[in-house]
Structure 1
Amino acid sequence: MFSKAFRVKSNTAIKGSDRRKLRADVTTAFPTLSSEQLSELVPNKEELNIIKLYAHKGDAVTVYANNRNPILFELEKTLYPTVYTLWSYPDLLPAFSTWPPVLQKLAGGADLMLPGVMVSSRGLPQVQQGTLCAITLVGNRAPVAVGVATMSTGEMLAAGMKGKGFAILHVYTDHLWGLGDKLNPPTIAPLGAEPAELESTDEDDEEEGGREPMSDLAIAPSLQMDLGSLSLQEGNSCTRLTEEEEEPGEPGAEEMAEDITEVQLETEDGRTPQERMDELLHQCFFHALKCKVKKSELPLLTSTFLRNHMFACCPEGQQLDIKKSSYKKLSKFLQHMQQQKIVQVKELNKGVESIVDINWKHSDIKSFVVPEALSEVSSAPENKYGDGEQLYHAPEIIPLYGVSSKMAPLFQESGHKKGSILSSSDVRNIIISYVKTNELVDEANKNFVKINPILCDCLLDKSEQDEILKLKWDDLLSRCLEKLQPHHQMTFFGREPVVKKGNLDPIDITIAQRSSNKKVTIIKNLELYGLDPQLVANTLQQRVQASASINTLPGAKDRVQVQIQGNQINHLAKLLLEEYQLPRKYIQGLEKAPKLSRKK
Structure 2
Amino acid sequence: MFKKKPNIKPLSPLKSSERRRTADQIIADFQIPLPVETTADPEDKAASTAGLTALRRSLLPENALSARFTTTAGPDLKQVSGTVYVGSHEGTGEEQRILWAKVGEKMYPTVYTLWHNPGIIPLLYTPSFVVEKLQGGADLMTPGLQRGPPFPKRATKGAVVAIASLERPTVPMAVGSCEIDVSSLGTVQGMKGHAVSTFHWTGDELWSWNPSGKPGSEPPAALQGWDDEADDTALATQTAGIDLQDDQEGGVALTADPTERSEAEKAQGIEGEDAPSLKDAVDIVDDQELSPKEIDDAFRDAFLFGVRYHMDHNRNHPNFGLDFPLSQSKVMSLLVQPFLPTYTPARTASLQIKKTSWKNIRKFIKYLDKQQILKSKEQNGNETVVMDIDFTDRHIEAFVPYRLPKKDAPTSSGTNGKPPASLSAESSVGQKLKLVFLLRPKEKLAPIFHVTKADPRGLYTPAELKQVLIAYIEAENLVSEKNKRLIKINPQLADALLGSSAADNAALASGAIPRDALADRMVAAASPFHTILRNSEDIADSKPKAGAPPKIQILIETRSGNKTVTKVSGVEPYHIAPQPLADELRKTCAGSTSVDRLQGSSPKNPVMEVMVQGPQKDAIIKALEKRGVNKNWIEIVDKTKKKR
Given the two structures, how large is their TM-score scaled by the length of structure 1? 0.42
Provide the TM-score with structure 2 as the length reference: 0.40
